[in-house]
Amino acid sequence: MTALPPQVMIRMKRDGERLPHAAIRAFIAGVTDGTIPDYQAAAMLMAIFFRGLDAEELTAWADAMLHSGDVLDLSSIARAKIDKHSTGGVGDKISLPLAPAVAACGVAVPMVSGRGLGHTGGTLDKLESIPGFRVDLSVDDFRAQVDRVGACLIGQTDRIAPADRKLYALRDVTATVESIPLIASSIMSKKLAEGIDGLVLDVKVGRGAFMKDAARARELARTMLAIGRGAGKRVTAVLTDMDQPIGRAVGHSVEVEETIDVLRGGGPPDTRELTIALGAEMLHLAGIDAGRERIAQALDDGRALAKFRDIVVAQGGDPRVCDDPRAVLPFGDEVALGPHRPGVITGIDAEKIGMGVLVLGGGRRRKEDRVDHGVGFVLLKKVGDRVGPGERIGTIYCRAPGPPPAAISLLATAFEIGDEPPAPEPLIHEVIRA
């Protein structure tokens, strides 16, 4: 079938007709090479926003986005190649301990990560708080490091899924981001371009997440699983809680410091548990059983930390971060944050904490903004903890002349304080295996 004119395709989708596979391929090719102008691409996005894509259209749309650029060939690496992707959260530093822990268990981890935007943090920004750490390796260096060290963490190149780059920018300014088929195809096209055998998706649910309720998170997970299945990949989705921040640290240096604690066998229980649970699913996709025990062992016996050191050295970073993070990482001035009343912490609004750190200078409002790696927030109390008069609920890391009032207000009001502890929420809601 030859390509249909864009306005014909837009009308078909607007009226609820199915788009033919070849026409979808031609449309995405036209978006990528610029022959389809932004106004027609935007009209199509809005039509998809309202009408959705059925299973066949979705597979074709995601496949066309995936092949709009380079698909990395990692077939020269004999071991199973498994990655993890999180839909984004607050204090979500899990990739940092996870990649070395999984690599220490014999699985190759090629990880192409993103930067933070809005209230959520990004893995690349956290890694760049380590002096010298480079995330802009060439594809050849990336492949060589995954083979030699077992894991490599880099940023997306211009050549990976360029159609998504264009469509995402358009969605951002045309109110078409919150569409499950568009989110799923955007994420999966980038991940499948990494040349992986399998993928674990950490789909965040809660007020700090994109998907605020479990039903929509489940639908997103199932949609991504369907795309993975269509591409012949092994994919597992884990729905995890994002009501309160993960662990205690939110920011860049502070999250690397927490990572080192986890890699030493310690760290906050939820950060460790997520590392173990997601790591076990990655090992399972690689055909390795008893994953929980293996990952826990690698964290406890120093192999995961040794692997992290190898990654840091291979990517030009200062390995002393593994021994004494405070000696190497930038940290701002410490300011204590107290509670607005004594009592029991009944909730912590993760989005407000993320916004508070953004206002301190640790986040981006626009893609081109620079982040300050030395600012952040460390929660000393989490949901269910008691806070007495004169006690701290957290430590702010900030620059002179001190935290802006807007940051203090966001961080302080994020803590909801009552008299009775709330019923505990599970950290892991559901595991969906293909």
Told to check if 123 binds ligand URA by CB under 6 A, we report no
> Rounded to the nearest whole angstrom, what is the least distance from the CB of residue 358 to ligand URA in the complex?
17
Q: Closest CB to ligand URA among 178 and 334?
A: 178
Return d(Cα 279, Cα 83) in angstroms, integer: 10
For residues 181 and 268, which CB has a smaller minimum distance to ligand URA in the complex?
181
Q: Residue 47 or residue 375: which is nearer to ligand URA going by CB?
A: 47
Q: How many residues bind ligand URA (CB under 6 A)?
A: 5
Q: Is 190 marked active-site?
A: yes
**Considering only residues 41-100, where is the footprint of ligand URA by CB under 6 A?**
none
Note whether 156 binds ligand URA by CB under 6 A: no
Residue 322 DSSP one-character state: G
DSSP letters spanning 55-109: HHHHHHHHHHHHTTS-----TT--S-BEEEEE---SS--THHHHHHHHHHTT-BE
Cα–Cα distance measured from residue 248 to residue 91, given in angstroms and rounded to the nearest whole number = 7
Instruction: Determine if 189 is a binding residue for ligand URA (CB under 6 A).
Output: no
Residue 138 known to be catalytic: no
CB of residue 22 to ligand URA, shortest distance in Å: 25
User: Which listed residue (125, 164, 197, 372) is catalytic?
Assistant: 164
239 with 218: CB under 8 angstroms? yes
CB of 115 to ligand URA, least distance (A): 11
- CB nearer to ligand URA: pick between 98 and 187: 187
Q: Which is nearer to ligand URA, 11 or 212 (CB)?
A: 212
Burial of 237-249, coded b for 16+ CB within 10 Å and e otherwise, reads bbbbbbbbbbbbb
Strand order across the beta sheet in which 394-398 lies: 249-251, 376-379, 394-398, 333-337
Question: Catalytic: which of 126, 143, 171, 218?
Answer: 171
Going by their DSSP bridges, the two strands 428-433 and 394-398 should be labelled as unpaired
Q: Is 187 in the site for ligand URA (CB under 6 A)?
A: yes
- Comparison of 121 and 150: residue with beta carbon closer to ligand URA: 121
252 noted as active-site residue = no
The yes-or-no answer on residue 164 being catalytic is yes
Please count the other Cβ atoms lying within 10 Å of the Cβ belonging to residue 303.
17
Q: Indicate which residue of 190, 294, 309, 364 is catalytic.
A: 190
Residue nearest to ligand URA (CB): 186
Of 68, 94, 71, 286, nearest in space to 191 by CA: 71
Question: How near is the Cβ of 168 to ligand URA at its closest, in Å?
Answer: 6
From the candidates 25, 51, 81, 85, give the one annotated as an active-site residue: 85
Structure tokens at 146: 């995954």
Q: Based on CB atoms, which residue is closest to ligand URA, 72 or 209?
A: 209
- DSSP H helices in 157-268: 162-173, 180-192, 214-230, 253-263
Q: Could you tell me the smallest distance in angstroms from the CB atom of residue 172 to ligand URA?
A: 9
Residues 6+ apart with CB under 8 A from 434: 225, 228, 229, 234, 235, 236
Q: Please, what's the b/e burial string for 56-81 (b: 16 or more CB within 10 A of its CB; e: otherwise)?
A: ebbbbbbbbbbbbbebbebeebebbb
Q: What is the nearest approach in angstroms of ligand URA to the Cβ of residue 272?
A: 26
Contact between 348 and 417 (Cβ < 8 Å): no
Q: How far apart are CA 11 and CA 21, in angstroms?
A: 16
Measured distance CA(288)–CA(284) in Å, rounded: 5
Beta bridge partners of 333: 398
Minimum CB separation of residue 345 from ligand URA in Å reads 29
186 near ligand URA, judged by CB under 6 A: yes
Q: x/- string (CB under 6 A) for ligand URA, residues 166-185?
A: --x-------------xx--
- Considering 186, 202, 364, 372, which one is annotated as catalytic? 186
Q: Which residues bind ligand URA (CB under 6 A)?
A: 168, 182-183, 186-187
Catalytic positions are 85, 164, 171, 186, 190
